Amino acid sequence: MVRIRVAGSETMTDLVRDTAGRPLRNLRVSVTDRCNLRCSYCMPEEDYVWLPKERLLHYGQLTAIVAAAVDLGVRKVRLTGGEPLLRRELWRFVEQLRALSGLQEIAMTTNGLLMAEQAEQLFGAGLDRVTISMDTLHADRFRTATRRDGLSATLEGIQAAATHGSAPVKLNMVVQRGVNDDEVLDLLHFAREGGHELRYIEYMDVDGATRWDPTQVVSRQEILERIQERHGPAVPVDKVGAAPADRFRLDDGTVFGVISSTTQPFCGTCDRARLTADGRLFTCLYATEGLPLGPGVVQGWSTERLSQEIRQRWARRIDRGAEERLALGSERSPTSVPELRADPHLEMHTKGG
């Protein structure tokens, strides 16, 4: 074990780097592959093959894997899915994670539909911050794009997260040409009025986005142009660590982010791994094979054993999935439906977005 001193007095373990020298700092935990929406860019199919219920790990088992990852340098966990708030009593998991010394931040990405009823308990249990997906301000458009009614519940969820959490709520908007790109400025205003921070996400050809169409991608450059045309210069804000969003500030103080995985990927600094609800660890959003930790944790493997397995996998990591997709040019496309049905682990909603 190597102990290093980082920036001043903080002592932390820094045990593993991949083949490109990237440390393991962030872990996204997909607590369920199920969802109560069917967003056209994520789950457009009529039906899905789900992870078998009997293989899903309970919170104690997931916490054991997270603890092993924390020992290797993970400092931030993001709960995601599928829709994380569908997992029963999620606050209990948050409480268990909070007890891990060394873990600095517990965040969540959610569609927010069930946030109003859970926010108080979640933040009470130690959740630090929340990102809520918010693609439109029009109820009919929401219904068409997600095949469910839910705009008002999402708005209530955003309000509840703002009330009970101490950090500003982040809003994720996947911008799709011809679907919601006419709302780029409206959502910025909505976020500013509510004291939230908006992040624009380029439409990605992640596995599961089976209707992905390059002509629907609105690039970071185009998003910035549209904003600057109305609001003047958007000045880059210093980037914190390896965060996926590039942040900008407008003259009036409004800060927003852009996640440009499709046109300007940031794999070079990527320090994220993903854990599925059945305990499979993926070292890239585009990875086709994961490390199956589920059977080991069910057998009662020690934290040291789990850490050893993760360390070995991370040390061999060569992933640069989004950069490789970009290099394919016009050949790029998401994985086909039959392939996804053969292995649902490939789906973005299983791996955790």
Binders of ligand SAM in range 331-350 (CB under 6 A): 348-349
Please identify, among the stretches 13-21, 156-164, 262-270, 291-299, the one whose residues bind ligand SF4 according to the rule CB under 6 A.
Answer: 262-270
Q: How far is the CB of 216 from ligand SAM (least distance, A)?
A: 10
Compute the least distance from the CB of residue 84 to ligand SAM, in Å.
6
Residue 348 beta carbon to ligand SAM: minimum distance, rounded to whole angstroms: 5
> What is the distance between the alpha carbons of residues 232 and 318, in angstroms, rounded to a whole number?
40
Angle 96-99-104 (CA atoms, 0-180°, nearest 5)?
Answer: 110
Q: Which residues between 82 and 121 bind ligand SAM (CB under 6 A)?
A: 83, 109-111
Residue with tokens 């962030």: 26
Compare residues 307 and 350 and give the one whose CB is closer to ligand SAM: 350
Closer by beta carbon to ligand SF4, 61 or else 260? 260
Q: CB 312 → ligand SAM: shortest distance, Å?
A: 28
Evaluate whether 285 touches 319 at the Cβ level (below 8 Å). Answer: no
Closer CB to ligand SAM, 283 or 307, in the complex: 283
111 binds ligand SF4 (CB under 6 A): yes
CB 75, CB 106: distance < 8 Å: no
Q: Which stretch binds ligand SF4 (CB under 6 A): 35-43, 49-57, 149-157, 296-304?
A: 35-43
Shortest distance, position 3 Cβ to ligand SF4, whole Å: 27
From first CA to last CA, the distance across the chain in angstroms is 31
Q: Does 174 bind ligand SAM (CB under 6 A)?
A: yes
Q: Which is nearer to ligand SF4, 48 or 91 (CB)?
A: 48
Distances, alpha carbon 334 to alpha carbons 42, 117, 153, 206, in Å: 11, 35, 31, 6
Burial of 222 (0-12, 13-18, 19+ CB in 10 A): middle
Q: Does an H or E element contain 170, and which?
A: strand 170-175
Q: Is residue 347 involved in binding ligand SF4 (CB under 6 A)? A: no
C-beta nearest to ligand SAM: residue: 353
Measure the CA–CA gap between 353 and 35, rounded to whole angstroms: 12
- In the complex, what is the shortest distance from the CB of residue 303 to ligand SF4, in angstroms, rounded to a whole number? 25
Cβ 101 to ligand SF4, closest distance in Å? Answer: 27
Is 321 strand, coil or helix? Answer: helix
Place of tokens 């899903």: 56
Q: Which position has the token pair 């996947």?
A: 174
- Which residue's entry shows tokens 């880059």? 236
Residue 204 engages ligand SAM in binding (rule: CB under 6 A): yes
Q: Are 310 and 288 in contact (CB under 8 A)?
A: no
State the residues that interact with ligand SAM by CB under 6 A. 35, 41-42, 80-81, 83, 109-111, 133, 172, 174, 201, 203-204, 206, 209, 348-349, 353
